[in-house]
Structure 1
C-alpha cells in the first residue's frame, strides 16, 4: 500500500514538475518575441466576420455595432451572426439588422434548425454561405479595435504560410473583483509567456477560439471544422499545423472581452476547456507522434495537449503526500519535500507572471502580490472541481457545449 501511494505521488509530482518547467522555458524564450511582419500596402480581400451567438441578448447589439465600426471596405466585408439562440436574442438580432442604414457591409443572421456541432457546426455552416478567403472570428462579448482587420490582413499578406493570426485579449471588467483580477493575471501570462514563447520557438501555439483571423485555405487544408471535441479551436490548430501551416501572434493592440465574475460561471467555462483539451489529446496525440516534427516539437505539443492533466495530478500528489504522512508519520523528509515544492512553485510563478505584469503596467508591487494570491486559490478550486471530469472525459460518449454565462447577458 505504501509503495503504491509513493509511486502515485511520485508520478503525479513529476508530471507537475515537468509541466511547470515547460512553462518556465517558454517564459524565458518569450523575452525574444517580436511582432510579426506586416505588409503595409496589403490589399483588402473579402473578409467574412463570424460572431457565434447562443442566448446572448445582452451582447448581440453591442457585438454588431462593434463589428460595423471596423475599418474595412463595406463591399468586401460580410458579417454573420451565427445565431443558435432559443431566447429573445434572435429577435433582437433581427431587429438590429433591419434597422441598419443602407450602404454598409452585408449582415446575415444565420439560423439553424438545431445546434448540431455547437459552435464548430455554426462556424462551418456560415462558411458555406460565403466564399471570402479570410475569416475573422469574434465571440459576442469581444470588442476589437477599429484597425483590427487591417492589421490582421497585413500580417497574413506578409506571411503566406500563416494559417491564422491570433490577437491578445484582456478583460474590460478585470477590476470587478478578486476573481476577475486573477483571471487577467493568468491570461496575461498565457499570452506574454506561454503563447509568445511558443511563437518564438516555432512551436504550435493555440488559436484561442476568438480574436483571430483565419485563412480559408488553411481551414480547408486541415479538413474543416470538427465538432467531435469541445475544444474545436485547439483541434483545428493542431490539424492545421499537421497540414504544414503555422500561426502568428500579435500582442498589440489587445481586444477586450468580459471575464466570468463568479465561481459558478468560471467553473462552467473551465470545465468545458478541461474536457475539450483531454478530448483533443485523445484524438490528436497519435497525429503528433506520427508527424515529421522534431522530438522537441512533439514533446512540447504533447505537454500542451496534456495541460489539463495537471489538475488531477495536483490532487493525487497532495493526497499521496498527506496519506504517506498519516501512515508513516510526518517527519523531516516531508518537511523538506513540502518546502522544495513550495519554493519551486513559488519561484516559477514569480518568473512566469511578474514580467507580463510589469510589461503591461498592471500596477505596483502591492497589487501584484495581492493578485498573485488569487492564483493558487483558483487553481485549488479548479483541481477539486474539474479533476473528475478530466479523468472521465476520454471515456464519455458525448458532451454538450455549455456556454459561459456572462453578466452582460443579464
Structure 2
C-alpha cells in the first residue's frame, strides 16, 4: 500500500479534528448532566443562630486598584454580618497611590467600628498567592471571604454562604460571577456568555454530580483549616486558586457552588485586558495540569468520574494548540488542493466531527443563557457567531500561553485593568480612565493573528468565487483573527500616540 502526502495530511487533519470533537462531546455531556441535576439545589445542613455565627475575615487582595478600591470597601462595609465577628484585611501590593488610599480607607473603617487593617507588602513574592499566604497566617477568622478589587458583593453574601459550613466537611462555598458592565460593548457581551457557560454549566454540573470543581479566585468563602490541610497557598502556578482547590479536595474536603447567588464584577473592556486575563488563566491551568494530574489519578479518595472530569478540565486548553494546527491542516482542504473524498461515508465522518467540534459548543452556551434568563435567552443568539470568532481568534495568544507553560517559561502575575464601572456608567468610565494602564507591548502575536486573518479571508473569498457558499460560511469564524489582532494593534497605536503626546508636553514644560 502506498501512502501519499495527501494521506498523511488527511490523517493529521482527522486526528486533530477528533481531538477537538472530544472536547466538544464533553460540552454536550455537560449539558445533559445539567438537565439531570438542575433541580439538585444545595442546601445547608442546618442554619447558624445569630449568636453562633463564626468569625469571618474578608480578604481583599489588590495591586494598583485606585479606581475600584473605595467602591469595594463600601460594599464590604455594607455586608449584613455582625461587626464583632468580621475582620477586613486589605492586602495591598500596590506601587502607586492606591496604597495611600488603602491606609486612609482602613482608618475610616476603624473609625466606623470595623476591625479593618491594611497589610502592605513591598516585596511582591508570589503575587496574589503570596499576599493571601501572608495574610492568612494572621487572619482572625475561622473562615475567609476572598474578593478581588472589582467585585461588588451584595449585603447578604455572608448570610447566604456561611450556613453551609455547619457541615464540617465543607471547605469552600463559591458564588457565581455577575457582570456589571456586560452591555458596554460586544467584547464584554461575549465574555459574559463565556463565563456564564463556565459557571452555569460546568461549575454546577461538577458540583452537583459529585465531581471536583475549583475555586474561581474570588467571590467565595474558605474554611481556613481546610486551606492549611491542603498545604496552603502556593505560588508556583499562575492559577493558585485552581491548584489549591484540587489539593484540598484530594484531602477529602467538599465544595459547594451556588448557581443562583450572583456576585457582580467587572469584565475587561478591551482586547488587551481580555488577552492578559486569558493568558494567565490558560497558562496557569496547564501549570496545574503538569503539577496535579498525576496526583489526582494516583489518589484513592477521588472517584473515577472526578478523575475523568479533572483530566478534561486540566487538559482543555491544549485544544488551542489543536486549533492552530487545524488552521494549517484545513487550508489545502478548503482550497481544494487535497480532497478527502466524496463518498457518503467520508462526508458523514466530517459532518459528525464538525457537529461535536462546533455545534455542541454553541448548544453549551445557549443552554447556559436559557438556564439563567428564560425570558430573554434568545436575545443572545446574534452574538453566537462573534463568540465562535473570538474563540478561534484567541488561538494564537492562548497557544503561546500553553507553550510557555509546557517549556517552563516563567512570567509574573499580570493584573486585569479595572475602571470602577457601575450600572449607570456603562461604557463611559473606560474612556476617562484607561490612560492609567499600558497596552501589551508585543506586536508579534497581533501581527500573526492578522496574517491568519488575511490567509483565511483569501480562502473564504476563493470559496465564494467557486459558489461554495456553505464552506465559506463554515470557515467564517476564522475571521475572528482580524478581531483579536486588529483590536490589539489599535490599542498599541493609541498607546504610542499617548506616549508621544506625553513626551511632547514634558519637553514643552522643560
Q: Distance in 1 between matches of 2:29 and 2:348?
A: 25
Q: Deviations over 1:281-314 (max 9, x none)?
A: 0001111111113333212111111121111111
Q: Distance in 1 between matches of 2:324 and 2:396?
A: 7
| Alignment TM-score, normalising by the size of structure 1 | 0.94
**5+ residue gaps, structure 1:** none
Q: Distance in 1 between matches of 2:187 and 2:245?
A: 29
Task: Please state whether the residue corresponding to 2:415 is helix, strand or coil.
Answer: coil
Higher RCO (C-alpha under 8 Å, 6+ residues apart): 1
Q: CA deviation at 1:397?
A: 4.3
The one of 191, 209, 222 aligned to 1:201: 209
Q: CA deviation at 1:337?
A: 5.7
Aligned to 1:15: 19
**5+ residue gaps, structure 2:** 421-429, 434-510
Gap change, CA 1:101 and 1:289, over 3 Å in 2: closer
User: Which range is displaced more, 163-172 or 182-191?
Assistant: 182-191
Q: How does 1:2-401 map to 2 (within 5 A)?
A: 2=6, 4-31=8-35, 32-33=37-38, 34-38=40-44, 39-42=46-49, 43-100=52-109, 102-157=111-166, 159-292=167-300, 293-323=302-332, 327-329=337-339, 332=342, 339-361=351-373, 364=376, 367-401=379-413
User: Which range is displaced more, 12-21 or 194-203?
Assistant: 12-21
| Alignment TM-score, normalising by the size of structure 2 | 0.76
Q: How many residues align?
A: 409
RMSD after superposition:
2.1
Q: CA deviation at 1:352?
A: 1.5
Gap change, CA 1:130 and 1:344, over 3 Å in 2: closer
Q: CA deviation at 1:52?
A: 0.6
Task: Please state whether the residue corresponding to 1:145 is helix, strand or coil.
Answer: coil
Q: Distance in 2 between matches of 1:5 and 1:239?
A: 41
Q: CA deviation at 1:169?
A: 1.0
User: Which range is displaced more, 360-369 or 35-44?
Assistant: 360-369
Task: Work out whether residues 171 and 184 of structure 1, in 8 Å CA contact, stay in contact via their aligned partners in 2.
Answer: yes
Q: Which has the larger radius of gyration?
A: 2
Task: Work out whether residues 61 and 128 of structure 2, in 8 Å CA contact, stay in contact via their aligned partners in 1.
Answer: yes
Q: Distance in 2 between matches of 1:341 and 1:407?
A: 42
Q: Distance in 2 between matches of 1:57 and 1:16?
A: 42
Q: Distance in 1 between matches of 2:398 and 2:169?
A: 37
Q: CA deviation at 1:154?
A: 0.5
Q: CA deviation at 1:323?
A: 4.0
Task: Work out whether residues 235 and 284 of structure 1, in 8 Å CA contact, stay in contact via their aligned partners in 2.
Answer: yes
Task: Please state whether the residue corresponding to 2:258 is helix, strand or coil.
Answer: strand
Q: CA deviation at 1:162?
A: 1.4
Task: Please state whether the residue corresponding to 2:150 is helix, strand or coil.
Answer: coil
Task: Please state whether the residue corresponding to 1:388 is helix, strand or coil.
Answer: helix
